[in-house]
Structure 1
Amino acid sequence: MMQLNALSTRPFIGAKDYAVSARFYAAMGFTVTQIGPTLSVCVNQNVVFYLQDYYDKAWIENTMLFIEIEDLDTCHRQIKALNLPRQFTGTRLSEIKEETWGREFFLHDPAGILWHFGHFINT
């Protein structure tokens, strides 16, 4: 079996309104650095992704990312305190849900990207 010896995974996500999405991720605590006229890199500790000034409705509405969180309750409280749905049209935040595998909550960004924030049950 091949060993990747990877250092990171950095997905590319789109934005319906690039400037609004950049402000949204900055409000969430990401450092948003523009690296080209239509591309930024967003970094918050070990979570890194590229934000593109590109929108395709079908692609955006089917983009999901999962972040494994050590302390899900604290993370949820912190995101809830940002009051993102009042600041950014289209943003939605769910409550924490209990699943058979662990717990999670969901956050939709202004374009419709679905973020899963979760914590796995140790097995």
Structure 2
Amino acid sequence: MIHPAKSIRTFIGSKNYQESIRFYQVLGFEVKPLDPKMSLVRVTDTLAFYLQDYYSKPWCENTMIFLEIEEDLESYWEAIKVLGLPDKFPGTKLSKIVKKDWGNEFFLHDPAGILWHFGVFK
């Protein structure tokens, strides 16, 4: 069956909602509040997710999101590195680029422990 879908959006939690909003804004995402406890976070015009004012440690620390990058991953990593996210947001971590058989990726933990994979496929 072909689904006439327009988008798919995940819901993620936040340990400190306002801090997570600032984190994603500094990362360059557009944050649009929908109500006092939820925001739509746009990565691009067609890619988005929901950020909630809700925290469950096991859920947040086991949530992973893979964002496929079209451009040069090294340049994208450098652009994120200069943001200084680990210095500005306690608990965040940025890894170096890891080269795999299928492609390359690096990792970024957000303030709630959500693990972002940024990568390119070969």
TM tier, smaller: over 0.9
- Following the alignment from structure 1 to structure 2, what is the Cα–Cα distance between the partners of residues 61 and 30? 21
- Which residue does the alignment assign to 2:76? 75
Deviations 1:73-118 (A, max 9, x none): 1210110010100000000000000001000000000010000001
User: CA RMSD, aligned part only?
Assistant: 0.8
Uncovered stretches (5+) of structure 2, i.e. residues with no partner: none
Deviations 1:10-59 (A, max 9, x none): 11000000000000000011111110110000112143010000000100
- Following the alignment from structure 2 to structure 1, what is the Cα–Cα distance between the partners of residues 81 and 25? 15
Q: Percent identity?
A: 54
- Following the alignment from structure 1 to structure 2, what is the Cα–Cα distance between the partners of residues 44 and 66? 12
**TM-score, scaled to structure 2:** 0.95
- Which residue does the alignment assign to 1:101? 102
**TM-score, scaled to structure 1:** 0.95
Task: List, as ranges, runs of 4+ consecutive aligned residues in structure 1 with deviation greater than 6 Å.
Answer: none
Q: Give the aligned residue type for 1:108.
A: H
- Following the alignment from structure 1 to structure 2, what is the Cα–Cα distance between the partners of residues 43 and 6? 18
- Residue correspondence of structure 1 range 4-83 to structure 2 within 5 A: 4-45=3-44, 46-71=46-71, 72-83=73-84
Pairwise CA distance, 1:6: 1.7
Aligned residues: 120
